[in-house]
Structure 1
Amino acid sequence: MASSSSLLVRGRAFALVVAVALVAAPRRINGGAAGPAARTNDPNWHVFSVSSLLPSSACTASKAASNSSALGVVHRHGPCSPVQARRRGGGGAVTHAEILERDQARVDSIHRKVAGAGGAPSVVDPARASEQGVSLPAQRGISLGTGNYVVSVGLGTPAKQYAVIFDTGSDLSWVQCKPCADCYEQQDPLFDPSLSSTYAAVACGAPECQELDASGCSSDSRCRYEVQYGDQSQTDGNLVRDTLTLSASDTLPGFVFGCGDQNAGLFGQVDGLFGLGREKVSLPSQGAPSYGPGFTYCLPSSSSGRGYLSLGGAPPANAQFTALADGATPSFYYIDLVGIKVGGRAIRIPATAFAAAGGTVIDSGTVITRLPPRAYAPLRAAFARSMAQYKKAPALSILDTCYDFTGHRTAQIPTVELAFAGGATVSLDFTGVLYVSKVSQACLAFAPNADDSSIAILGNTQQKTFAVAYDVANQRIGFGAKGCS
């Protein structure tokens, strides 16, 4: 018979083995103290209801900016979209794969513009055009639809409402106009200059025409413009001025924009585009004398939510700022992304990775953030290590790191923080970490560039829920958390 002291030792040893086994056992995701509730208060993890990953079928309200110039921002393909509201019952819904393929076409266009800096246009192999999402010149009129967020503005006197894409990568604003020689199909009636008492054509000798580097003059000395986008979509027409209505009590007289009479591709059912770029003809530049330089927008967390776009005004009090950087093209906004944290830990990215790529463009029209492969690979690896408890899902177009949350009531993912030059650190909302096509396919919302020499792009998925302040006067960009709520 074993002595009492021997039994005590064995009992302690057994208890130690059990304790070690419990510590080493994988954490359960649903239920129990080891589930997501254990990390609810951990600042390095997002714990959320799986049902919250999918947008509502109804439009939901959210905070609007106090600035009187604020415009409501909605997702082009969501239930709040004026385009979708008018299309109900006609035409099929765009798929996530199509959105991501078109996104790649936009990224390719940005890369060509930055790399070319005025060089000859690249040649596209017709056999590969459809799989790349690139429109050939012979296919004019095919919509690529690379803009995701729309605002409604009024033009003319009396004002007529138009749903337009807003784009930080473009300068000239334009809508399709009567009479139109070649226009793509849109839901609203075309802008009719003859119905506006404040309409005026811009003459060839006007400063606005010279600054635009316009394509020429019409027979009656009106300024003609031509803009050809990277995917061969284009708009041609007259440069004009008329009253822009931002709200019932807020107008911008003499707003200069393009009245397109030959347009093809890119924008689908929307009525045109409003440019938020850095040149003098852009909307914020024209609005600066009235509202102050710069602008702020907040993109909603879901395609069923609402955000805002406001001109001028003070940046949000909680914003973290990083300086605007020099770049190869004058229209784009460049910033310096210098590091990434996953779950509170900095991942190892070569110090030269972002600089060698030419920096980072922040773009409202790109969906998925693109990183140099040397930065994407360690991000993907760190995220995947933290997600080992979930079943993997098939890749979705350009997104290669996807998970299946089927059967889970709640889920948890590590935080992802972006570090910028000057010390600004932005912790992404969980909706900015994942791109979700369905509960069984939730993907890391980052993708690698084709090579390390292509510029990084901060896409709109990562910008969601932030008040993104373009403080042009002080040459900086700020990110204010919970900007739409």
Structure 2
Amino acid sequence: MAASCCPGHGRFCLILLLAEHKHGAATGTRMPIVHQLGPCSPLADKHGKAPSHEEILAADQPRVEYIHRRVTETTGQVRPKRAAPPSAPSVQLQPTPLSSSAASAKLLASSGNAVGTGNYVVAIGLGTPEERLTVVFDTGSDTTWVQCQPCVESCYPQQEPLFTPAKSSTYANISCSSSYCSDLDIRGLRLFWRPLPLRRPEFRFRCGEDNRGLFGRSAGRMDLGRGKTSLTAQARDKYGVRDRVPGPRPAANARLTPMLTDKGPTFYYVGLTGIKEDGRPLPIPESFFFAAGALVDSGTVITRLPPKAYSPLRSAFAKAMEDLGYKKAPGVSILDTCYDLEGGEGKALPAVSMAFQGGASLDVDASGILYMPKTHGVLYDLGNKVVGFVPGAC
């Protein structure tokens, strides 16, 4: 894992553990990532005003609504109705033929996937010669895409120049009649992708030439979901992922929980079994969590709980804060349990812990009571079908 360029700031890392059969050992791939609004991000506006909490949470809502729609489509579970959310960003796609034999019909579609301000970004290389691009990485989607030249209709502003397929000697279109295209929610293209440290020839992705949305000046999105068209699925041929891969744990302090693979093809589900406040289990029946499972998502700003789980957590936390002498402050957007911490230096804060199947736990200490801890590594072990939380991994 590369060292952070800003050692004084909280860091976060994603560990993608595939199974590369090298001398009988399973190895993992680590990608250094940064928050797109953080001081290390190449997309951060160093001289502009940072978005407010209200703006961040407002931008997060379309993402949450997108996840709810996808869950409903996959499981048939109907979510409670809410006020109509803002429209999800639209991504219009069109193939760019390199020869007269290539398809030239315009393919219009909407990705339907909202990308808010809470996302992390990673640098990748595309094409030959390599063009470096900064993209959002997303564990809740299945097909990578970037903006491409020529920009036929509309392209949102991005940090680097748009990817130019015509300059790549290893770029080629995919036939619209291919089995790969049938796996997409919208049509896709094919090219040669050479990111480091994971190099993957013949990587398939979508090339967007009519794009609308709020993507934070990123060049596009790298999708790491569990579906057939994601980077993780395409890397299986190279890394030899099987249903079960023996091998050592990636870290002695990794807290592993089984990945629930029967909940849908895209998202990473885990079994949340309970919540503790200062070591005391909250009065939430364990059976309450079993029906739907919990979803680990890289693109959502804050953890969200259903009312039957959030209400006892809020009550216990508020009681503990009152006992410690903290005064309540006005709420911010959907955050209704806020406090004035002025003069509270050195005081303790209540600790929150989330318990998962298999004995794993995620401890949310004072550094991340409202926002998840920033120095945790999140492990996605696709071979062994587990998700892990690694304290201090970054």
Give the TM-score band, short-chain normalised. Answer: 0.7 to 0.9
Give the alignment's TM-score, normalised by structure 2.
0.79
SS in 1 for 2:389: strand
Deviation at 1:365, TM superposition (A): 0.8
Distance change >3 Å, CA 118–CA 403, structure 1 → 2: closer
For 1:216-365, list aligned pairs within 5 A.
Answer: 225=187, 238-247=188-197, 251-291=199-239, 293=241, 315-356=250-291, 358-365=292-299
The answer to whether structure 1 residue 117 and structure 2 residue 74 are counterparts is yes
Offset, 1:430? 2.9
Give how far 1:264 is off.
Answer: 1.4
How big is each residue's C-alpha offset from its partner over 1:277-299, in whole Å with a ceiling of 9 and x where there is no partner? 001211122223334549xxxxx
Look at both structures and tell me which one has the larger radius of gyration over its CA atoms. Answer: 1
In the other structure, the counterpart of 1:188 is 160
- SS in structure 1 opposite 2:194? strand
Cα pair distance change 1:213/1:108, threshold 3 Å: closer
Conserved? CA contact 1:393–1:404, under 8 Å: yes
Q: Could you give the per-residue CA deviations for residues 304-343 of structure 1, whole angstroms, max 9, x where no partner exists?
A: xxxxxxxx99532221221112454310111110101110
TM-aligned CA deviation for residue 413 of structure 1:
1.0
Aligned AA for 2:370?
Answer: L
- Deviation string 1:419-448 (CA, Å, 9 cap, x unpaired) is 11222223224323234xxxxxxxxxxxxx
Change beyond 3 A, Cα 1:136–1:152: closer
Query: Shift of the alpha carbon at 1:242?
Result: 1.2
2-structure distance, mates of 1:164, 1:313: 31
Return the offset for 1:344.
0.9
1:367 aligns to 2:301 (yes or no): yes
TM-fit CA distance, 1:60: 5.0
- Give the aligned partner of residue 83 of structure 1: 43
Instruction: Check the 8 A contact 1:339/1:349 in 2, yes or no.
Output: yes
8 Å contact kept, 1:243–1:253:
yes
Once residues 240 and 330 of structure 2 are traced to their aligned partners in structure 1, the CA distance between those partners, rounded to angstroms, is 48
- What per-residue deviation string (whole Å, max 9, x for no partner) do you get for residues 230-253 of structure 1? xxxxxxxx5122122224xx5222
String of CA shifts for 1:86-121, please: whole Å, max 9, x gaps. x444x54322211111222211221122123398x9
- The answer as to whether partners of 1:321 and 1:477 remain within 8 angstroms in 2 is yes
How far 1:187 sits from its partner (Å)?
A: 2.0
State the AA in 1 paired with 2:193.
T
Match of 2:182 among 210, 215, 239: 210
Cα deviation, residue 258, structure 1:
0.9
Q: Does 1:411 align with 2:347?
A: yes
**CA deviations over 1:162-200 (Å, ceiling 9, x no partner):** 111111100100100011222222121110011112212
1:372 and 1:433 mapped to 2: Cα distance? Answer: 17
Change over 3 Å in CA distance of 1:170–1:213 after alignment to 2: closer
Aligned counterparts of 2:248 and 2:220: Cα–Cα separation in 1 = 26
Task: Say which structure is richer in strand.
Answer: 1
Distance 1:293 1:468 in 2: 19
Match of 1:466 in 2: 376
> SS where residue 135 of structure 2 aligns?
strand
1:467 Cα offset (Å):
2.1
Shift of 1:150: 0.6
Equivalent-residue separation in structure 1 for 2:86 and 2:277 (angstroms): 32
Q: Aligned pair in 2 of structure 1 residues 342, 417: CA closer, same or farther (>3 Å)?
A: same
Question: For residues 185-234 of structure 1, what are the alpha-carbon distances to aligned partners after superposition, in whole Å with 9 as ceiling and x for unaligned?
Answer: 212111001111221221234332233255xxxxxxxxxx1xxxxxxxxx
Q: What is the match of residue 298 of structure 1?
A: none
CA distance, structure 2, for counterparts of residue 397 and residue 175 of structure 1? 32
Q: Distance in 2 between matches of 1:205 and 1:366?
A: 35
- The match for 1:94 is 51
More helix by proportion, 1 or 2?
A: 1
Task: Say if 1:187 and 1:425 are closer, same or farther in 2 by CA, change over 3 A.
Answer: closer
1:370 and 1:332 mapped to 2: Cα distance? 16
Runs of at least 5 residues in structure 1 that lack an aligned partner in the other structure: 1-55, 215-224, 226-237, 295-311, 436-460
Report the residue type matching 2:160 in the other structure. Answer: D
Secondary structure at 1:243 match in 2: coil
Answer yes or no: is the 8 Å Cα contact 2:271–2:356 preserved in 1: yes
Q: Give, as a single letter, the amino acid of the residue that structure 2 aligns with 1:196.
A: S
- Partner AA of 2:357 in structure 1: A
Deviation at 1:346, TM superposition (A): 0.7
Identity level (%) = 47
Structure 2: give runs of 5+ residues left out of the alignment.
Answer: 17-26, 91-109
SS state at 1:354 partner: helix
Q: Does the Cα contact within 8 Å between 2:263 and 2:269 map onto a contact in 1?
A: no
State the 1:149 CA deviation: 0.6
Kept in 2, the 8 Å contact 1:147–1:167? The answer is: no
Q: Which runs of 4+ in 1 moved over 6 A?
A: 56-59, 61-68
Are the structure 2 counterparts of residues 136 and 419 from structure 1 closer, same or farther at C-alpha, using a change threshold of 3 Å? closer
Aligned AA for 2:266? S
Structure 2 counterpart of 1:434, from 359, 367, 370: 370
Using the size of structure 1 for normalisation, the TM-score is 0.65
CA distance in 2, matches of 1:197, 1:59: 42
Secondary structure of 1:396 counterpart? coil
Equivalent in 32, 36, 44 of residue 72 of structure 1: 32
Map of 1:151 onto structure 2: 122
Aligned-residue CA RMSD (Å)? 3.3
Taking structure 1 as reference, are residues 473 and 185 closer, same or farther at Cα in structure 2, changes over 3 Å only? same
| Alpha-carbon separation, structure 1, partners of 2:7 and 2:386 | 36
Quote the Cα distance in structure 1 between the aligned partners of 2:88 and 2:217: 17
